[in-house]
Amino acid sequence: MNSPQTVLITGSSSGFGLLTTRLLLEKGFTVIATMRGLEGKNAQQANEIRKFSEERPGVLYLRELDVTDEVSVDQTIQDILDTTEGIDVVVNNAGFGIGGFAEGCTVDQMKRIFDVNLFGVQRVNRAVLPSMREQGSGLLIHISSVMGRIVIPYAAFYTATKFALEGLTESYSYELEGTGVDVSIIEPGGFGTGFMAKMEEAGDMERVKTYGALLERPKQIWGSVGEMIEGDNAPNPQDVADAVLNLIETPQGKRPLRVVVDPLTGGEGAKTLNDAAEQIQHQLLSSFGL
């Protein structure tokens, strides 16, 4: 099977999205790199991507796309479909985190993080799937986290979105079986991508002051994580971009549902849960005749 040639990536301005964009351009893919603020806050990043692409064999299209805006998603993807031969792969990567005590995070914060990390994925999938099903091939890759399987305290809302993303993605994998569209999840561990530096704090710190001495716990836990992912022996975030490329190059129908990428800890917790869930799901679906 030939590797799919046209790949749409959300959240391409930084982190895993940027690394994946650069890698696929180096490998000769047509990359549709999307982000918010293409002419505004991310203009510099966009220009750097353009400059990078000039000496690479791949073809770059930069597009403004806000995953929280259904009109933006629908119009952008329709424009891409109208001006290219189709979208072969989507990498749902856009997302952000909120840290601190769950009680101190407001409902508005919860709504916003779900709007980006989960509802944004649904908007993109709905916009691209009809064309993929019509062409009889496609690949949806969802960037989740080991925190979609295990819980590290003081990031409850981020964890909740990734648990939800896992369920949504696995459901898609069953429902799209037989259409030619594959569905995969990548579960990264801790990497130094700048993600933690951009994490929001709880919006209602006044409420959690009465936690007293316990208030130091989030800084203790996440400070330790930060030291591990930024040190001399820190894991290389390029590993996640490599995992995306590997999924794309894997033959249709042979792609795994979940791929753990966690050199920091080995990812054994997530892998163990994934293996157990796979067995249970196989038994359950078999009982339904699926």
174 annotated active-site: no
13 annotated active-site: yes
Catalytic residue among 12, 53, 144, 184: 144
158 annotated active-site: yes
Torsion angle, CA of 116/117/119/125, rounded to 10 degrees? 110
Name the residue among 141, 166, 131 with its Cα closest to residue 246: 141
- The span from the first CA to the last CA of the chain, in angstroms, equals 26
Strands laid side by side in the 258-261 sheet: 59-64, 30-35, 6-9, 89-92, 138-143, 181-188, 258-261
Catalytic residue among 13, 53, 145, 184: 13
- Residue showing tokens 């980006």: 116
Catalytic residue among 12, 53, 154, 162: 162
CA distance 27 to 20: 11
Confirm if 76 and 65 have CB atoms less than 8 A apart.
yes
- Three-point CA angle 164, 170, 174, nearest 5°: 145
β-bridge partners, 7: 31, 89
Dihedral of alpha carbons 256, 260, 263, 269, sign: negative
Q: Fill in the amino acid letter for 98.
A: I
Cα-atom radius of gyration of the chain, to the nearest Å?
Answer: 19
User: Phi, psi at residue 226, to the nearest 5°?
Assistant: -60, -40
- Residue showing tokens 């894997």: 250
CA distance 14 to 21: 10
198 annotated active-site: no
- Three-point CA angle 246, 252, 256, nearest 5°: 55
Catalytic residue among 53, 154, 158, 172: 158
Confirm if 47 and 40 have CB atoms less than 8 A apart.
no
Name the residue among 4, 29, 16, 7 with its Cα closest to residue 194: 16
Question: Catalytic residue numbers?
Answer: 13, 144, 158, 162
